[in-house]
Structure 1
Amino acid sequence: MVDPVLILLVGVIVVVGGIIGFKLHPFLALLLAALTVALLTPTELVQQYFIGKGMSEAEALKQAHKSIGERIAAEFGNTCTKIGILIAMAAIIGKAMLDSGAAEKIVRAMLRMTGVKNAPIGFILSSFFLTIPVFVDTVIFLMMPLAKAMGLRLGKNYLLLALSVIAGAVMANSYVPPSPGPLFLVGALNVPIGLMMVCGVLLGLCTITVGYLMAIFLNKKIPIPLRDSPDARLDDIRAIAEKDDNELPSLGWALLPAAFPLTTICIRSAIEAFHKSGTPISSSAIINTMLEVLLFFGDKNIALLTGGIFALLVLASQKKTTKDKLTAFVQTALMSGGGIILITAAGGAFGGMLQQSGISARIADLTKGYQMALIPLAFFISMVVRTAQGSATVALITASGILAGMAQNANLGFHPVYLCLAIGSGAKLVPWMNDAGFWIMCKTSNLTEKEALQTIAPMQSLMGITGGVLTMLAAWLFPLV
């Protein structure tokens, strides 16, 4: 039987060699890698993967005997289910906010608050706190147009602004409930959610500080300009930047396309995190009805769809455009978003095939008997699984599954919250081409694959390492037991 580690190495060679060596489009390279991994994976490993997901042996065998094309398409579709509408609507919101002047209005307001020098700090803190209740992808989609507008206005430091958005978002996604990963960890390791929120925010602020310093260094070392793209032509952004303030939409209208989805998603996340489903939210029928409406609009897909409608309304009122021009505008935005969806879904298919190869279970077996302290072990397992198959969620689940029993040990010597933080830190290493999130960050920021590997990957990895080291230090100084 082929070792899953060997399958992983072959998949890595196909992706990296295809994109960098043969200059293949990432979509094709990722699909070829997914096909290669699937061809090398024995049916027995695929069956074991589905059994591990809770299927019966008969059902798992049925899934394992599906054709390779069906399995790749299923994982491709699963990724589209998660991000397809989000990316499409975010593309419309982003382009509409740029073209209508809404992004420029927000940038001017932020500059008045932070000053030019501290603008990147405003970006990194905003993305960090927004990602606590909102999905990381959504925050990146909504804030990257602001980074582009700010970068053009300043005439420099675009990479610093883009990396600031990414740094704040990815770290909140690892540490602070009700983000899905941390929320899973507190349940698996029986950690109080309030304690995880406090510790996660404190550790997150420390790690994004390191990320910010790294972003400053990378911005000086690898100066990357803001480039033209189909959804954000520099001449168009420059023309808007030269407008008088009274020619731009009001700040309230400018904020609405982004603020509405963020607010409703926040409310839904808060209710779902602290309220038991199936029971009335309050004793008042009117309040319950209002909250039900908010919950409806707080669904991430509905929220982004509504935000897209608001963005188009702002654009139409600002430019007095015709229906035909508005249709052409949406078509251009969707063409840009469609390319991101295809690449991201192909990355999801590649990652899915790696998961079906049994790489997570193989890594779990390799590390189960390894004698080392629990916090470094938690970090190490999460890091290796994340790097191997791309999914931070799978890394969290694998590491917590291995360590859950040990975390309940009365003689642990420190609070299990530190294991959660170590697992979250390890899940930040190493983002590369088997990760759907890598492609979202790469394409929304208009970086090339090489540039993303030179900037996003080392910054995120350094923040993860910093989080692991600080977690070990805090567990030693403040064991909380």
Structure 2
Amino acid sequence: MLDPILILLVGVVVVVGGIIGFKLHPFLALLLAALAVALLTPIEYVEHYFLSKGLPEAEALKQAHKSIGERIGTEFGNTCTKVGILIAMAAIIGKAMLDSGAAEKIIRAMLKITGEKNAPIGFVMSSFFLTIPVFVDTVVFLMMPLAKAMGMRLGKNYLLLALSVIAGAVMANSYVPPSPGPLFLVGALNVPIGLMMVCGTLLGLCTITVGYLIAVFLNKKFDIPLRDSADARLEDIKEIAEKDDKDLPALGWALLPALFPLVTICIRSGVEAFHKGDTPFTDYPFINTIIEVIVFFGDKNIAILMGAIFALLVLANQKKTTKDKLTAFVQTALMSGGGIILITSAGGAFGGMLQQSGISGRIAELTKDYQMALIPLAFLITAIVRTAQGSATVALITASGILAGMAQNANLGFNPVYLCLAIGSGAKLIPWMNDAGFWIMCKTSNLTEKEALKTIAPMQSFMGLTGVILTMIAAWLFPMV
């Protein structure tokens, strides 16, 4: 039977060769790669994968014997379930905020605080703290239109602004609960959530500083302009940038489409992280009802749907547009979002087929007896699994499963929180075509695949390397045992 590592290499050749060599559309290249990986994966590997997911033997056998097309379709659908509504509604929000002048209004307010010179710093800090309670893709969706508007206003440094948004978002997603990855780690390695929040925030601020400096360097090295796209035509952005302040929406209305999802999702995340589900929120029924309503609207899909509705209301009020024009506007936005959904879901299908090939278990097997310090080992395992199959979550689970027993060792020599931080750092290496998040960042920023591989991938990787180096230094200086 083929080694999973060989199957992985075949998948890499198909997707990279298809996109860069044969100029195939990423959607087709990713589906072909998923098909190639699925064809090469023995049925025994697929059955073992489903058993490892906790399915009963009969159910695992049933899932493994589904047709290859059905298994690819299932993984495609699973990814679409996670991001489909988010991307579609975010496309409406982004285009509506640009066309109504809401993004321009927010940019002018931000410039009053940061000044033009420090605008990218404002972006990286904002995206970092917003991603702590909010799904990382949501923050990227909501902030990228602001980066485009700022890029048009400044007339330069668009790549720096886009990378600043990405740098802040991805690091908070790796280090700071209640982001899903860190939240899983604190449970798996038995680390107090408060300690992880403090340490993760401190390490995150250090790594995004490095990320920002790398973004500055890449911005000087690559002349990547703000490009035309269906949802953000340059002439429209320029026209809005030249408007008087009185012709733009009020700041409160401009912020509402982005602020409503962020606030409600934050509240829901806090409730889910710290509240026991079988007890009332407070002793007051009326307050409990209000919280329940907020929590309902804090579901990420519902929150961003409401954000889209508010964005359309602001647009309709600002432009006094007709119903027919509003329908055409939504159609244009959804056409843009639909392409991103297809590519992202195809990337999820490719990553899912790689997971079913057993690549995570194979890497775990190769590293289980490798004698080296635990912090770099945790980083290395996570980085290899993450690069191999695309999912940061799977990489986190794989590494924590291998290291959980060692983390409880009384003679560890340092607090297990450092293992969590090392695993989180490893989850940043190396984003490429098998990662659904890579496609979201690539397409929302209007970078080509080559440009994303030259900019987003190295920036994230250097931030991850910085994270593990700082973690090792901190564990040596402040072991906390």
Q: TM-score normalized by structure 1?
A: 1.00
- Once residues 118 and 110 of structure 1 are traced to their aligned partners in structure 2, the CA distance between those partners, rounded to angstroms, is 10
Q: Residue 279 of structure 2: SS of its match in structure 1?
A: coil
- CA deviation vs aligned residue, 1:269-323 (integer Å, no higher than 9, x gap): 0010001112111111001100000000000000000000000000000000000
One-letter amino acid of the counterpart of residue 119, structure 2 = A
Q: Residue 411 of structure 1: SS of its match in structure 2?
A: coil
Q: Which residue of 1 aligns with 2:57?
A: 57
Q: Which residue of 2 aligns with 1:364?
A: 364
Q: Which residue of 1 aligns with 2:412?
A: 412
Q: Which residue of 2 aligns with 1:24?
A: 24
- CA deviation vs aligned residue, 1:249-268 (integer Å, no higher than 9, x gap): 00000000000000000000
Q: Residue 232 of structure 2: SS of its match in structure 1?
A: coil
- Once residues 271 and 470 of structure 2 are traced to their aligned partners in structure 1, the CA distance between those partners, rounded to angstroms, is 31
Q: Which residue of 2 aligns with 1:297?
A: 297
Aligned pair 1:456/2:456, yes or no? Answer: yes
Q: Which residue of 2 aligns with 1:378?
A: 378
Aligned-pair CA distance for 1:234: 0.2
- Once residues 269 and 5 of structure 1 are traced to their aligned partners in structure 2, the CA distance between those partners, rounded to angstroms, is 38
- CA deviation vs aligned residue, 1:200-221 (integer Å, no higher than 9, x gap): 0000000000000000000000
Q: Which residue of 1 aligns with 2:199?
A: 199
Alignment of 1:465-476 (within 5 A): 465-476=465-476
Alignment of 1:85-164 (within 5 A): 85-164=85-164
One-letter amino acid of the counterpart of residue 4, structure 2 = P
- Once residues 16 and 249 of structure 1 are traced to their aligned partners in structure 2, the CA distance between those partners, rounded to angstroms, is 44
- CA deviation vs aligned residue, 1:336-387 (integer Å, no higher than 9, x gap): 0000000000000000000000000000000000000000000000000000
Aligned-pair CA distance for 1:444: 0.1
Q: Which residue of 1 aligns with 2:269?
A: 269
Structure 1 stretch displaced more, 312-321 or 276-285: 276-285
One-letter amino acid of the counterpart of residue 286, structure 1 = F
One-letter amino acid of the counterpart of residue 458, structure 1 = P
- Once residues 15 and 277 of structure 2 are traced to their aligned partners in structure 1, the CA distance between those partners, rounded to angstroms, is 43
Aligned-pair CA distance for 1:171: 0.1
Aligned-pair CA distance for 1:332: 0.2
- Once residues 293 and 178 of structure 2 are traced to their aligned partners in structure 1, the CA distance between those partners, rounded to angstroms, is 21
Alignment of 1:366-445 (within 5 A): 366-445=366-445
Cα-Cα RMSD: 0.3
Alignment of 1:245-260 (within 5 A): 245-260=245-260
Q: Residue 133 of structure 1: SS of its match in structure 2?
A: coil
Q: Which residue of 2 aligns with 1:83?
A: 83
One-letter amino acid of the counterpart of residue 386, structure 1 = R
Alignment of 1:203-214 (within 5 A): 203-214=203-214
Aligned-pair CA distance for 1:425: 0.1
One-letter amino acid of the counterpart of residue 468, structure 1 = V
- Once residues 41 and 281 of structure 2 are traced to their aligned partners in structure 1, the CA distance between those partners, rounded to angstroms, is 48
- CA deviation vs aligned residue, 1:113-147 (integer Å, no higher than 9, x gap): 00000000000000000000000000000000000
Aligned-pair CA distance for 1:402: 0.2
Aligned pair 1:315/2:309, yes or no? Answer: no
- Once residues 199 and 275 of structure 2 are traced to their aligned partners in structure 1, the CA distance between those partners, rounded to angstroms, is 22
Aligned-pair CA distance for 1:24: 0.1
Alignment of 1:36-47 (within 5 A): 36-47=36-47
- Once residues 6 and 279 of structure 1 are traced to their aligned partners in structure 2, the CA distance between those partners, rounded to angstroms, is 51
Q: Which residue of 1 aligns with 2:218?
A: 218
Aligned residues: 481
One-letter amino acid of the counterpart of residue 179, structure 1 = S
Q: Which residue of 1 aligns with 2:13?
A: 13
- CA deviation vs aligned residue, 1:48-96 (integer Å, no higher than 9, x gap): 0000000111111110000000000000000000000000000000000
- CA deviation vs aligned residue, 1:3-56 (integer Å, no higher than 9, x gap): 000000000000000000000000000000000000000000000000000011
Aligned-pair CA distance for 1:223: 1.4
One-letter amino acid of the counterpart of residue 117, structure 2 = K
- Once residues 55 and 90 of structure 2 are traced to their aligned partners in structure 1, the CA distance between those partners, rounded to angstroms, is 35
- Once residues 156 and 210 of structure 1 are traced to their aligned partners in structure 2, the CA distance between those partners, rounded to angstroms, is 21
One-letter amino acid of the counterpart of residue 477, structure 2 = L
- Once residues 73 and 187 of structure 1 are traced to their aligned partners in structure 2, the CA distance between those partners, rounded to angstroms, is 32
Q: TM-score normalized by structure 2?
A: 1.00
Q: Residue 109 of structure 2: SS of its match in structure 1?
A: helix
Aligned pair 1:335/2:335, yes or no? Answer: yes
- CA deviation vs aligned residue, 1:134-178 (integer Å, no higher than 9, x gap): 000000000000000000000000000000000000000000000
One-letter amino acid of the counterpart of residue 384, structure 2 = V
Q: Which residue of 2 aligns with 1:239?
A: 239
Aligned-pair CA distance for 1:244: 0.1
Unaligned runs of 5+ in 2: none
Q: Which residue of 2 aligns with 1:324?
A: 324
Q: Which residue of 2 aligns with 1:354?
A: 354
Q: Which residue of 2 aligns with 1:177?
A: 177
One-letter amino acid of the counterpart of residue 192, structure 1 = P
One-letter amino acid of the counterpart of residue 10, structure 1 = V
- Once residues 145 and 175 of structure 2 are traced to their aligned partners in structure 1, the CA distance between those partners, rounded to angstroms, is 25
One-letter amino acid of the counterpart of residue 455, structure 1 = T
Q: Which residue of 2 aligns with 1:282?
A: 282
One-letter amino acid of the counterpart of residue 370, structure 1 = Y
Structure 1 stretch displaced more, 57-66 or 309-318: 57-66
